[in-house]
């Protein structure tokens, strides 16, 4: 077996070195029957640099995301040799990424030592200090391009893919421009699907990712906890000869930070140094941000001081990170002092510097301190409050339940000539509704109509939910009619809020009737809608109707989770309806619902309570 294995690789090496075209045909021939004759995990494939490429298994946090073919796309764990149609990418063959494996040696966030600061000693003072960050800014027409929309449609129906659809996908992929590939990635609701598409596209013949696609993928992953995926994308960049700029490493740092792994996030700096990439201000700012995010303010301050010692002059972004850190640990006096010290360091605070501290004051309803800070912003920094200032204050106050204070700032903004949009009004309406102050919320809606600022569906839905919270169900229904009257069609969230309110107030049968008549009202229930009605019926002891809702839910493509399944089984067992409970569990299994051991344990416990040990043992054996 081993001799055949090495013969296989020897043939590959010879073909790749002397006859690249034959090598491509050879690999294509092998892949045509690899599923039946080969173990795909044991045969590495060569990349364009004719060096072995190990297979990267897509396994984030021990969660099996499955192959992309199970989602409708081929297994993307195998990286093949691709033609270079895009061109224009920079190669940097000197990069060494041997440190990638070392980065995982020490897990956790034990980051007490300052070992990572040693990297700052390698900073070249003579190099130009810059904070340029390569970000992908797409226009709306690029996101709506027909080719982009068609690829997104094919990805959405991946569970029903055929060989023809996959060929169509490959054909469309080769017609896409690099920015359109970025648009496809950014259009995915699930970042894991975007990553699988990225892998799948990378292994297609006659296609090669442009550098901006790598950076777009890394930027997407930096907003998630998928740090392993980000690491693999960065490794793939090195293997493909793509220039790795400092922000590529910054994206990996942020992803590690979101995953709660500060130790590995900071070790990225060492990895960057080993790869021969020069430090810049942007990556230092990222390091400070990561430390502050992990509540390591003291270490962030030491890093900040070390930066200046080696000649890296911090900018307003670095200061704003520290201001945020001080506010996070309730040291607002130090944050204010830092703002006062900034001008002497040739760095003027911006509005974000002040907004950060204002946000801290808003959380504690310290309106006087907010107003004092606004005056300081004008006098000391010559920064005048604008609509963004007032929008920020309104949203933060509303978010923390201070609707009255938010309304004060709204009125002040309008008195100064600023037009606060419906989003700001909706935030205050929602805050009042959460407090049970429905009359105040209705008053704002009426005021919006009188000013020509028509409330949207979000505003009305907040009022509907508010009426339901205080048990005024008839007024909630009238509000839905009021929406139609003013040209605002209720959506699924609006109806779900009403149905949830009916169920909470003991009117689940009425909610069930409205659910049945959803098609006549031209709205479509979702999984949350079905769950709300099902739980309402269950709590009222209408178990047969609750089971019917679950069946309808499954028929519409929504599946109850194991907790919801267990609640119904438990209720049926409590009523002594063991046959119905067992039948319900079997139906859930047959329909493909996620059933776990707790569901079986609940049913077994029910049989034991009925002294039916034979049935309990039979179920245990099954």
d(CA 472, CA 439): 12
Q: What is the pLDDT of residue 164?
A: 83
For residue 347, tell me if it sits in a domain. Answer: no
* Residue given tokens 């407090």 in the structure block: 435
Residue 382 corresponds to which tokens in the numbers above? 């010559």
In 3D space, the residue among 104, 72, 42 whose CA is nearest the CA of residue 196 turns out to be: 72
Last residue of a domain, one of 311, 338, 358: 311
| Distance from the Cα of residue 166 to its chain's centroid | 27
Question: Which pLDDT band holds residue 279 (cuts at 50, 70, 90)?
Answer: confident
- 10 pLDDT band, cuts 50/70/90, is low
- In this prediction, residues 338-345 reach a mean pLDDT of 94
* CA distance linking residue 347 with residue 345, whole number of Å: 5
> What is the model's pLDDT at position 125?
58
Q: Characterise 87 by phi-psi region: left (phi > 0), alpha (psi -120 to 50), beta (else).
A: left
Per-residue confidence (pLDDT) for residue 32, from 0 to 100: 39
The phi, psi pair for 64, rounded to 5°, reads -85, 100
Tell whether 459 is covered by a domain: no
- Given 311, 329, 351, which residue is the final one in a domain? 311
Whether the predicted pLDDT of 33 surpasses 70: no
CA distance 169 to 171: 5
pLDDT value of position 495: 94
**Rg over CA atoms, the chain:** 30
Give the mean pLDDT of 352-375.
Answer: 94
List CB contacts of 366: < 8 A, sequence separation 6 or more: none
Classify residue 603: in a domain, yes or no: yes
Q: What pLDDT is attached to residue 76?
A: 35
The better pLDDT of the pair 80, 466 is held by 466
Question: Cα–Cα distance between 178 and 577 in angstroms, integer?
Answer: 60
Q: How confident is the model at residue 205 (pLDDT cuts 50, 70, 90)?
A: confident
Is residue 252, in this structure, part of any structural domain at all?
Answer: yes
**539 belongs to a structural domain:** no
Instruction: Out of 56-60, 134-138, 318-322, pick the least confident.
Output: 56-60
Is a pLDDT exceeding 90 seen at residue 17? no
Average pLDDT for residues 434-450, to the nearest whole number? Answer: 91
Q: Alpha-carbon distance 109 to 265, whole Å? A: 9
Sign of CA dihedral 335, 340, 341, 346: positive
Q: Tell which wins on pLDDT, 119 or 89.
A: 119
pLDDT value at position 141? Answer: 81
Tell me if 447 is assigned to some domain: no
- 346 has a pLDDT exceeding 80: yes
| pLDDT, position 115 | 62
At residue 143, the pLDDT reads: 86
CATH code assigned at 250 = 1.25.40.10
Q: Per mean pLDDT, which range of 91-105, 113-127, 162-176, 264-278 is the poorest?
A: 91-105
* SS3 label, residue 307: helix
Confidence tier at 400 by pLDDT (50, 70, 90): very high
Q: Is residue 484 part of a domain?
A: no
pLDDT, mean of residues 143-162: 84
Higher pLDDT, 32 or 434: 434
Q: What is the mean pLDDT of residues 131-147?
A: 75
Mean pLDDT of the chain: 81
User: Rounded distance, CA 544 to CA 611, Å?
Assistant: 24
In a domain, 439, yes or no: no
User: Rounded to 10 degrees, what is the CA torsion of 596, 597, 599, 603?
Assistant: 150
Is 16:74 a contact under the CB 8 Å cutoff? no
Distance, in Å, from the CA atom of 177 to the CA atom of 436, rounded to the nearest integer, reads: 52
DSSP character string of 429-497: HHHHHHTT-HHHHHHHHHHHHHTT----HHHHHHHHHHHHHTT-HHHHHHHHHHHHHTT----HHHHHH
- Work out the number of other CB atoms within 10 angstroms of the CB of residue 399: 15
Contact in structure between 28 and 205 (CB atoms under 8 Å): yes
Residue 110's pLDDT is 52
Into how many domains does the chain fold?
Answer: 2
Domain boundary among 278, 311, 344: 311
Which pLDDT belongs to residue 278?
A: 87
pLDDT of 511 reads 93
Query: Which residues form the domain of 589?
Result: 559-622
DSSP annotation of 205 reads T
Backbone angles phi, psi at 60, to 5 degrees: -90, 120
Lowest mean pLDDT among 98-102, 289-293, 405-409: 98-102
pLDDT at 133: 52
Strand partners, 59: 64
State what percent of residues in the chain have pLDDT above 70: 79
Give ∠ CA 533-534-538 in degrees, rounded to 5. Answer: 115
Give the C-alpha separation, 336 to 341, whole Å. Answer: 9
Q: What is the pLDDT of residue 66?
A: 36
Average pLDDT of the segment spanning 183-210: 92
Task: State if pTM tops 0.75.
Answer: no
Res 64 pLDDT > 70? no
d(CA 268, CA 222): 14
Q: What angle do CA 121, 126, 129 make, to 5 degrees?
A: 85
Asked if 252 and 286 count as a contact pair (C-beta separation under 8 A), the reply is no
What is the structure's pLDDT at 206?
A: 85
Q: What is the structure's pLDDT at 581?
A: 92
Output the pLDDT for position 55.
Answer: 32
Q: Please measure the distance between the N-terminal and C-terminal CA atoms of the chain and give it in whole angstroms.
A: 40
Higher pLDDT, 554 or 38: 554
pLDDT of residue 60: 38
How sure is the predictor about 98, in pLDDT bands with cuts at 50, 70 and 90?
low
Residues 519-573 pLDDT 10s: 887 899 999 999 999 999 999 999 999 999 999 999 988 999 999 999 999 999 9
Residue 53's pLDDT is: 28
């Amino acid at each position: 077996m081993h001799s055949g294995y090495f013969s296989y690789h020897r043939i590959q090496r010879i073909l790749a070195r002397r006859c690249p075209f034959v090598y491509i045909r050879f690999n294509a021939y092998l892949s045509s029957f690899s599923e039946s004759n080969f173990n795909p995990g044991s045969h590495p494939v060569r990349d364009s640099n004719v060096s072995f490429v190990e297979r990267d298994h897509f396994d984030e946090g021990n969660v099996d995301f499955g192959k992309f073919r199970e989602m409708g796309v081929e297994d993307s764990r195998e990286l093949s040799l691709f033609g270079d149609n895009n061109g224009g990418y920079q190669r940097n063959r000197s990069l060494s990424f041997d440190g990638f494996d070392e980065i995982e040696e020490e897990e956790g966030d034990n980051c007490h030592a300052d070992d990572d600061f040693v990297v700052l000693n390698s900073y070249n003072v003579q190099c130009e200090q810059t904070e340029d960050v390569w970000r992908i800014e797409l226009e709306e027409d690029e996101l709506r391009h027909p080719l982009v929309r068609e690829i997104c449609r094919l990805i959405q129906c991946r569970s029903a893919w055929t060989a023809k659809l996959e060929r169509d996908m490959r054909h469309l992929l080769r017609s896409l421009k690099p920015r359109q590939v970025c648009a496809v990635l950014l259009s995915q609701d699930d970042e894991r699907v975007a990553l699988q598409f990225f892998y799948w596209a990378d292994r297609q013949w006659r296609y090669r990712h442009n550098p901006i696609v790598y950076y777009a993928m890394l930027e997407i992953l930096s907003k998630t906890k998928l740090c392993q995926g980000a690491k693999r994308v960065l490794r793939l960049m090195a293997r493909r000869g793509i220039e790795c700029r400092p922000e590529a490493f910054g994206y990996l740092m942020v992803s590690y930070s979101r995953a709660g792994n500060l130790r590995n996030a900071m070790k990225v700096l060492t990895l960057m140094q080993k790869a021969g990439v020069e430090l810049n201000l942007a990556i230092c700012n990222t390091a400070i941000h990561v430390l502050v995010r992990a509540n390591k303010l003291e270490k962030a301050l030491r890093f900040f001081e070390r930066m200046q010692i080696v000649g890296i002059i911090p900018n307003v972004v670095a200061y704003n990170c520290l201001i945020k850190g001080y506010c996070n640990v309730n040291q607002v006096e130090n944050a204010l002092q830092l703002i006062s010290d900034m001008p002497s360091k040739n760095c003027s605070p911006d509005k974000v510097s002040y907004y950060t501290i204002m946000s801290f004051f808003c959380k504690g309803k310290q309106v006087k301190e907010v107003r004092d800070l606004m005056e300081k912003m004008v006098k000391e920094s010559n920064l005048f409050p604008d609509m963004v200032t007032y929008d920020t204050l309104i949203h933060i106050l509303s978010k923390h339940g201070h609707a009255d204070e938010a309304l004060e700032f709204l009125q002040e903004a309008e008195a100064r000539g600023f037009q606060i949009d419906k989003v700001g009004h909706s935030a205050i309406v929602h805050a009042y509704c959460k407090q049970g102050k429905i009359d105040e919320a209705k008053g704002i809606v009426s005021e919006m109509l009188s000013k020509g600022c028509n409330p949207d569906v979000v505003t009305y839905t907040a009022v509907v939910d508010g009426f339901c919270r205080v048990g005024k169900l008839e007024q909630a229904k009238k509000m839905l009619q009021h929406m139609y009257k003013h040209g605002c069609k209720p959506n699924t969230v609006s109806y779900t809020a009403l149905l949830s309110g009916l169920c909470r107030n003991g009117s689940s049968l009425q909610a069930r009737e409205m659910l049945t008549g959803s098609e006549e009202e031209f709205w479509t229930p979702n999984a949350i809608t079905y769950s709300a009605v099902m739980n309402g019926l269950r709590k009222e002891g209408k178990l047969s109707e609750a089971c019917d809702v679950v069946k309808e839910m499954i028929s519409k493509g929504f599946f109850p989770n194991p907790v919801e399944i267990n609640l119904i089984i438990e209720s049926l067992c409590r009523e002594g309806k063991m046959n119905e409970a067992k039948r319900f569990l079997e139906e859930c299994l047959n329909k493909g619902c996620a059933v776990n051991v707790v569901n079986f344990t609940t049913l077994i416990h029910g049989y034991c309570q009925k002294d039916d040990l034979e049935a309990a043992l039979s179920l245990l054996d099954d």
